[in-house]
Structure 1
């Protein structure tokens, strides 16, 4: 019987590295989301618990050692520190903080995946209610939904932060949100955004999403809930709605 792959969170403030690791793990069949700060991770963890956390040390604000120490009391969550700090004292500090493994950048992504699987194999079963409530560290509980406003082409996060969208970005989100959590194929998106005769539609979609992830990281300080299904399409993984005008929600 095939064992289900572990769910992963990546906490990394370098957006290029974050997205590179995220895309590799998604393509390898893992369920993955990313955060660029400890605060964003805590907020994401309250609604999307994971089995293994890949953790950078040099984060803005609260550092990675603090996050590892908090997770130490969660036997159902594994921690892999992935850092450019390769000194012995840094490695020892990471292990004392509760990390299961300490890998030094740059790391071979296949080696990282092997370490994820090995770490997940030793974990206690994940339960609905367990140990420390990480939500205490998130300063506010998530609001119900993401909102796409038709009137001004704006995507709003559950915490009220907004991102102005270009024409193609708006059309991209509009198609995903209309699917209500179901996957939308790359062919369907490409035809809708660029036209049925457009060349290199899949590559253009990948580039569009890469730019969106970077813009969203700056605007929202939390991961964009869009999952890439390798060679298939995309799905919006959070609660969302389309409205004519954001102001009508208040």
Structure 2
């Protein structure tokens, strides 16, 4: 049985979602803010977090970013605002899905099932690796502090999407990864074949690595995908 954690400062919403998800067969814990959320995560294994964006003190974006720095637990973000920028920021910080209030509890239930199914469908040999640092070709990815250090010792800032993508590459160095695998591993979301968002993300990452085209560390393998072609030392 999957255990879910609902984090929302509205007691009525917490109760409603806990009841609805409980009737669907899930074990549900609740928390009203980031402090309570961390206490639950310390004592329980949680398979998925339903996280409200507008929380007191620490908002959902901050909490999602902190979660992603140390965990791959899926997150569905809730917000009372339907602005596109909120959705973009939520996904950039590592949310696996996004739902605007008000919503039908059945829609949330469908999204919970979809995210859990995608997460559990990940091949065992492609599960994310738990590392603190990765060194490759005189570069260093600091996983703990979520930044990249270039060969001259300068810190290169990465967006949330760039960080997650590079972490996937260093964790599976010299292995050709398809676009679908890269999307699944870096975000947990299903691949969208009509879009080329992953190609754009790789282009931006190559730029951060000082590369142009596909002749640098991240190589394009025609009709297959991409590969980080270098030796990586994981710490």
TM-score (norm 1): 0.47
Q: Which has the higher contact order (CA 8 A, sep 6+)?
A: 1
TM-score (norm 2): 0.50
